[in-house]
Structure 1
Amino acid sequence: MGALPVPPQVTGRLLTVGLVASWYSSNIGVLLLNKYLLSNYGFRYPIFLTMCHMTACSLLSYVAIAWLRVVPMQAVRSRIQLLKISALSLVFCGSVVTGNVSLRYLPVSFNQAVGATTPFFTAVFAYLMTVKQEAWLTYVTLIPVVTGVVIASGGEPSFHLFGFLMCIGATAARALKSVLQGILLSSEGEKLNSMNLLLYMAPIAVILLLSATLIMEENVVGVTLALARQDIRIVWYLLFNSTLAYFVNLTNFLVTKHTSALTLQVLGNAKGAVAVIISILIFKNPVSVTGMLGYAMTVLGVILYGEAKKRNK
């Protein structure tokens, strides 16, 4: 007797579970490795690290789209569209660099708590830039989002003002990019899926970051080579970290494709909580009950915000 055929529904569920597990692993992995390199290992070059990430994204995006055909390649249709993509790339660079800088000074748990306020900044930028108003209930749900971070900040044993400001900057820049993307690439002829957008944004980001690292992180290549001669593991850390940074984007795209927007939101909230727990277990940074209550309030606010937006569509 032959083996019973696996129903398509089961295969589909297994694929989704595998994609979500890969998304979680790559996302949390790159976050923890960034923290280890920038804080524990002592590699003090967040701009150069981000440039490594973007270099990997440039190369692997091309392989995935041009060779493996994960998605069809979309062409840039005009110089104006390229300028818009360049503007998005600049904001994207700012968000990643400031996020990496914040990891030098803040524990991952607090970094994730601040990062959960993205919906607040998205709502603010959407109102300021498009005069798009949400229902009053949607704005009410943002109160616990912000209040939670205020409470978490007050109860954070490892609070660092500069790190906190960098983290707020990274969160605001992420929100600004999503709003700008909706405005700049809104016409049918200019819309790009996230994989093609990354394909064009990443090389521009490399050029911008190369200039920034040469000006702001002097002799970083010499220092890295000297480190590599002492400890070859730094090369493998950077290669693995950069590859993971690309897989964060790839798995995020695939999970979005195979699940609903609501499922993605729930999974995203849970991912933040998982990252907090794992980082505390690995880095053993001190946490307070007040800090965890603040983070829980922020996550609850984000969930309520998502529900309010869904009802008002």
Structure 2
Amino acid sequence: MRVSLSGKLFTVSLISFWYASNIGVLLLNKYLLSNYGFKYPIFLTLCHMMACSMLSYIAIAWMKMVPLQTVRSRVQFVKISSLGLIFCLSVVGGNISLRYLPVSFNQAIGATTPFFTAVFAYVMTLKREGWLTYMALVPVVTGVMIASGGEPSFHLFGFIMCVSATAARALKTVLQGVLLSSEAEKLNSMNLLMYMAPVAVAFLLPASIIMEEDVLGITIQLAREDSTIVWLLLFNSTLAYFVNLTNFLVTKHTSALTLQVLGNAKGAVAVVISILIFRNPVSVTGMLGYSLTVIGVILYSEAKKRNKRERDT
């Protein structure tokens, strides 16, 4: 009984930490990029990826949290690099969107990930789901359309970047299944992050230098005036790594399906907290649209679970 209770307490603590890191990094990104006035989303993403590179190496190579998996061929490295680029674009797009959109609307758009995943899975692998699964995607998309029409802080460029980031996130998930499908090439998410993050850094460093003129000089100047920015960036970047670490650990100690359900609830929690903190205006139409999207995602998850049971029997 004690073992069972301690195991449950550990799982609950893990889920709580996963929620805190996910929502924390989202709100801190919004604060830095919008309220604080640090308008450099590419550089912010670069900091995230540098932290992910270093901390994932420490966790795997030094702390032995999971066995070290090696890259076995040049072809596998190219595949991982492709995933790294798409991962990088999804994070940059999400951070750029936070400059223009409130967290609540950002999360509403992000909830459409299952729609893009289903589309890419069909286009790239010709994998078909049951008709109920596709029907469940209708309220997902309809909800975002309603939320967009009722969003007081709607910004077209921010909307496009957020949709692009959501699509890139879904594309990475599908491509990961296609490119690393053989047993010899499969990597767990922690090892994959360790190899993808340096690739992302290689892409982001020149992009930040070219597109965000003198960002390093401006950051140093800000740090001289007020060291708070240094601690904010360090904490934010570390939190970004813990999002990936806790994501892996929650999946390991529960299941991928549980993670999906918890993720749906997390989005709703993030919306409520962001509205309370940033006090961004929301409309009844916008909240109804977001609620419809969440209901659609839940129905989609249930339909997929039902299809899986039918295939297994």
Same fold (TM over 0.5): yes
Q: Determine the C-alpha separation between the residues in 1 that align with 2:142 and 2:78.
A: 38
Deviations 1:219-238 (A, max 9, x none): 00000011111111000000
Q: Determine the C-alpha separation between the residues in 2 that align with 1:196 and 1:99.
A: 23
**What residue in structure 2 maps to residue 302 of structure 1?**
297
1:166 and 2:161 correspond: yes
**What residue in structure 2 maps to residue 93 of structure 1?**
88
Q: Determine the C-alpha separation between the residues in 2 that align with 1:191 and 1:311.
A: 27
Structure 2: segments with no counterpart, 5+ residues: 309-313
**What residue in structure 2 maps to residue 128 of structure 1?**
123
Post-superposition shift, 1:135?
0.9
1:15 and 2:13 correspond: no
Deviations 1:202-241 (A, max 9, x none): 0111111001111111100000011111111000000000
Letter in 2 for 1:196: N
**What residue in structure 1 maps to residue 136 of structure 2?**
141
1:250 and 2:248 correspond: no
The within-5 A match list for 1:283-294 is: 283-294=278-289
Letter in 1 for 2:131: W
Letter in 1 for 2:251: T
Structure 1: segments with no counterpart, 5+ residues: 1-5
1:158 partner SS:
coil
**What residue in structure 1 maps to residue 216 of structure 2?**
221
The counterpart of 1:77, out of the listed 44, 54, 72, is 72
Q: Determine the C-alpha separation between the residues in 1 that align with 2:90 and 2:206.
A: 17
**What residue in structure 2 maps to residue 312 of structure 1?**
307
1:193 and 2:201 correspond: no
The within-5 A match list for 1:4-83 is: 7-83=2-78
**What residue in structure 1 maps to residue 275 of structure 2?**
280
Post-superposition shift, 1:67?
0.8
How many residues were matched structurally?
Answer: 308
Q: Determine the C-alpha separation between the residues in 1 that align with 2:303 and 2:29.
A: 34
Post-superposition shift, 1:82?
0.3
Post-superposition shift, 1:261?
2.5
Letter in 2 for 1:224: T
Deviations 1:1-53 (A, max 9, x none): xxxxx611101100000100100000000000000000001101000000000
**What residue in structure 1 maps to residue 259 of structure 2?**
264
Post-superposition shift, 1:265?
1.5
Letter in 2 for 1:249: N
**What residue in structure 2 maps to residue 212 of structure 1?**
207
**What residue in structure 1 maps to residue 311 of structure 2?**
none
1:282 partner SS:
helix
Post-superposition shift, 1:271?
0.4
Deviations 1:270-305 (A, max 9, x none): 100010000000000001111011000000000000
1:312 partner SS:
helix
Q: Determine the C-alpha separation between the residues in 2 that align with 1:201 and 1:19.
A: 24
Q: Determine the C-alpha separation between the residues in 1 that align with 2:238 and 2:89.
A: 20
TM superposition outliers: structure 1 runs of 4+ over 6 Å: none
Q: Determine the C-alpha separation between the residues in 1 that align with 2:53 and 2:261.
A: 29
1:77 partner SS:
coil
